[in-house]
Structure 1
Amino acid sequence: MSATTFGQKGVEAVRNKDYAAAISLLDKALESSDSPAWLLARAQAHQQLKNLDAALHDTELAYHTAAERGSGNSRKLMIEAQYRRAVIYFRLGRYADSDCCAKWSMLLAEGRPAREDDGVEKNVDQDGNYTVTYVDGIADKKGQPGGGAAAGGLLGMASANTAPKTGFETEWNKAYAWRSQALGKLKDLPADHPGRKVTVVKIPPKPIKKKAEAKKPDPEVADSSDEDEPVKVAKPAPPAPGSVPDEKLKLRADFYQSNQTMTVSLFAKDAKKDMLRVEFSEDKVILGPLPREAAPYVEAGDREAMSTIVLGGKIVPKGSRWSVTPRKIELVMQKAAPGVKWGRWGEEVIGGSTTAPAAAEPVTTPAPMAAATAPAGKENNNASTSAKPAVGNSAGAPAYPTSSKTGPKDWDKLDEADDDDDKQDVNFFFKQLYKGATPEQQRAMMKSFIESNGTALSTDWNDVGSRKVETMPPEGVEAKKWDK
């Protein structure tokens, strides 16, 4: 397999939480490329397996590689690298370092220069202890990109000063929420605890890329009949046709649908357009010959070279079309019943047989938005999530509707061992803030929130207890009174 294939499979393994397999695949991918995305994926796998030194090495190398490439995606990867540093330092018990890295992630998301001397690491006292407090971290929203009251929820309450959108609002929110965990730990540490010391710098020294041990060459098989003859190397015979399991032969597929069409992308590298044959019928598509990485020896007449796509609904063959690029085959099929959302795109059956299993009937209720409109390149499940009943957790806590891959969430619990995006939601962070506040602080929060119509939030009862909190909409937003 190519480095790209190893990398894609490694990233997918991280997504599926198969961390040991992910590291093995990404090791192979990174032998020929310093892709920062692959480095960050391997860092996450090492982190989950508690290989924290290796995780930190990959994260810092990813930061430098992304900065040196200077591509359109570089800033996003640098933001992610600083956030990943924050998570790793938290796991190491270095909470001051964790907060510094989270703050740097926020500054990058705000569009600030990567090499700016922002002085974050200089917030220390004469003993070298970090002086930023939990309250300081909560109030640190001056440079928040976009959002404001229009963002909804508690995030919009105290956002009187918001910067223009940068496209990294989600990354900013995630780093901002992470600071609550780092500073929350920090406030309970003894004064002489090493976790209070700042030992990091904004731009870490670039680590040396670790080289994999070179494999010894396979022993050569020589012909002893004549020492002057060149050495002959034994070559393994290719596997016989039909010996590769169907699951390994199947192509990676992605799909999205509209009211009129179902589009399926089959990722086949270097498919030959002049040789490819695609036959649309009412409920299936037969195509081939297909290049398969698991069986590169296949020829046009082999069973492995052909596939039958058994569709999840009916199509109009004459209104369907296909196209080929160097990396994928795209099928754009006109639905026989416009407006009906398919519950699944279908399945691939190896071979060009017309006796493939019958296609499932299309669902008559609208499929979830994620399944209906997910763009090509994003992961989708074949089965519609609308068919899955909501389930609660074992403790009987409420389970709310969610599109998370991990299923329904219990928002009353905070799992510090996992930095899942759902648990980094800023509204969830404010809920935790209220939950951990004193009764007096809770009264102040409720009073300021209600009286200001959701535009202000204060935890200081001495400030808001004796006055009415005025409505303070963000700049550019006008507060209106509604007649009953």
Structure 2
Amino acid sequence: MSATTLATLGAQALEKRDWPTAIAKYTAAISQTASPLWLINRSKAYVGNQDYTSALADSEAAFHAAVSRSNRKFMAEAQYRRAVALLRLGRYADADCVALWALQLYGPGPASTPDDETTQVDSQGNYTVRKESAAEKIKAAMSGLDKKAVMEVSEVRNRMVAIQAFRQQCLGALERLPESDPSRKPTVSKVPAKNGVVDTQTTPVTTAAPEAAKKGANQTAAKDLRTDFYQSTGQVTLSVFVKGVDKAQFAAQFIPDDDPATSSAVLLNGLPVDGQDGATIKIVLGGPIIIAESSARVSPVKIELSLRKATVVKWNKGLTGAPESVTATEAGATSTVATSDAASTSAPAMAGSTADETRPSYPTSSKKGPVNWDKLTQEEDDDDGKDVNHFFKKLYAGSSDDQRRAMMKSFLESNGTALSTDWSDVKDRTVETKAPDGVDVKQWKP
């Protein structure tokens, strides 16, 4: 099947919110052609499937694919998808910085502007931008557009307004964090690291990695392996960056704690490090995890562990100490295999999504069996958002050109607090911000 046909099927699945099918179809299409649009759409599907780490990787790969084609529109959209993934990962300062870069690309200015957003920090390194200043950025970004373009309803203008609303969400979440929270510190770079397209196919790979890649990886010491981690309330994603891992030889083994259902350390077998093709390294995690709800996945550039926390607490770090090599005797004496075949090769979704499907298992008199109220609440929230969006889309679609201009002008100038359809009323005045009852509007001062 051609890449175009596969991508069309992926788009249809994406429209139906069938995330696994969309991911599978786009993965097959991308294996033939790394289109920035397809990578962007697969990133959307990953967000829907709650695999935010893969969504971030796809958005970054999409950015580089767009740069190679000199496609500014896709560069901007890739940065926006990157911001969405960072927001879902709880990295609020990073998400706002990347959203600003997306705004710059949608605007008329040069694409290669200085990366000064991440320098807006205090003496502790905390991001200092606040919601009150966000509106100024959108006005500055649109100031270069001619008057006709500003007043006309256009895709670019609508996108910029949407990103402005997204920034309000990022900054609102940021302001609610404690001062010591690491998510207050921006750590991203304007141009993401170029790691290539992430291989997320679930079919087993039987061919070994190229010898040149193995040889280079063999020289890396286990203690020098680069690691990274992201976390949510109950989930941790830990990445160990190592190239040339043979999926046929790789296995992840969790070392049980006193409670055999939990683990605080993992053995990664079959790694080309320390001058060996099949070394075993031990990683001590930043906290205990539930073995049955955790998994591992191999890509060309890293090993990714999706871990379900045993307790709902925030980890200070992903691992304790550096990775260390262990002998086969040490590994055999202290560990038990806890990963399934699917988990030890490639799992396209977070382990937590499976856990959400199976709990709770409490007694019930319902004829339909136990009800997962958490899932129903989440679906209800999604439906609420969809209904609101549907209402505004319907209102906008049925409006005249003057009404649309009035809606866009009033929404933008009031910082999203007012919406008017009367063009004769708003065309010659500035629409003031109308704060909700009990809230005072304060002028932001840099």
Instruction: Give the alignment's TM-score, normalised by structure 1.
Output: 0.44
Q: Whose helix fraction is larger, Structure 1's or Structure 2's? A: 2
Q: Which has the larger radius of gyration?
A: 1
